[in-house]
Structure 1
């Protein structure tokens, strides 16, 4: 399959990207790693007039600690963050989730922010961002704004990003003195998850997040729960996610996975 015709622009600066987005609006798409966008172009699910390539912009390829968080720029590849020496220490949940993202070959091209922009509900990085309570940094030619993760994902492959905005980066909070766990079930390692789950301890108890079931990754905060109280909370959450049958799994199977993995992960972090 071949994409519809489009103009390709290799941006020389972030300002050039913002100018192009301001001119074309919804008719422009930003190309970072291309692992999702190229497939959509080839299948003509996306037909932009202009594709703006940002991968030569060093100003967007930074990983830095700032104000109690790790800021990851739009040009940072998944493999680069996974190889960052401080990752396991300051972002242990991301360190657990990233090896499940695609394969080594795709991680060498795909970007952290590109996965968030694509907003597949089965993807691991949106789930990690929701679980950690991170922020997405958006920038247009007119303004900058930060959007909380819980407000950024608006539906399946839908986000709060406006047509003239670039995802400039994200902030992932550094959470000390907490325990984290991550697990997913997929047909093969590297496939999109049928169900993915993350759990962490919080000062008030626990946070449990699920991807691959609802149209957006979803988290719940509970007090420390055990026994039948935990089973009831997980069962209620599994039904709230409104799972549907598809070619990969039935709704019942997804609910069973939420309950089973949830018990395992929450027990693991509460040890």
Structure 2
């Protein structure tokens, strides 16, 4: 396979197919979270869970738009394994809680079709594209030092482990979570938590900022919408215990930390570009 860093046309087709579904799902879940009983594939209670899933979709919209716009595969490659894990977990959650869905509803047909096909579509995209990356940096790129990469990857590892624990043991986690969860909604929350985890761990293998720039933009978009959801649906948070304050603090710290990391890398990338052009 030629290592020219080109994005396979198939991958852009997949992005173009998935994008409209993400946009519609974001509208239904973020703007109309209390109407999932009639509008969505399954009833999501409370609204905060619906908005959390919608926030993940918002990041997905940003990511897949980046796939359509990107000129090189390495700039988006590390988002695809995260999408694969997320979609596979939601497909598994659908099968495990089949009785919770609105059979025959157009939203259910769309949901089932999307999550039973997306893992395969994304896996094929990974296979077709992965070796296209020659592992070279962009002309104006920044090599992220090991220490900050390890720190951000550590945050990702925590998020990934938490997400998998929530998915595997939803009954245990639901009793101590920051808001009310059912086994199905717990597994959905767990799947969302794996997204930054799978992405950030790749920082241990690749130091090119160009390989993470657009993906971190997507993560920041998701965190902004999660933060807004915590404000808008604050009545859904548990009023007793430390789980709710801990979750809110964790999201706030993540948003500030990811934004600071993004700006830090952007500034150094700009300096590198200036040095190259001189």
Regarding TM over 0.5, the answer is no
TM-score when scaled to structure 2?
A: 0.24
Which one has more relative contact order, counting CA pairs under 8 Å at least 6 apart?
Answer: 2
Q: Which has the higher strand share?
A: 1
TM-score under structure 1 length normalisation? 0.25
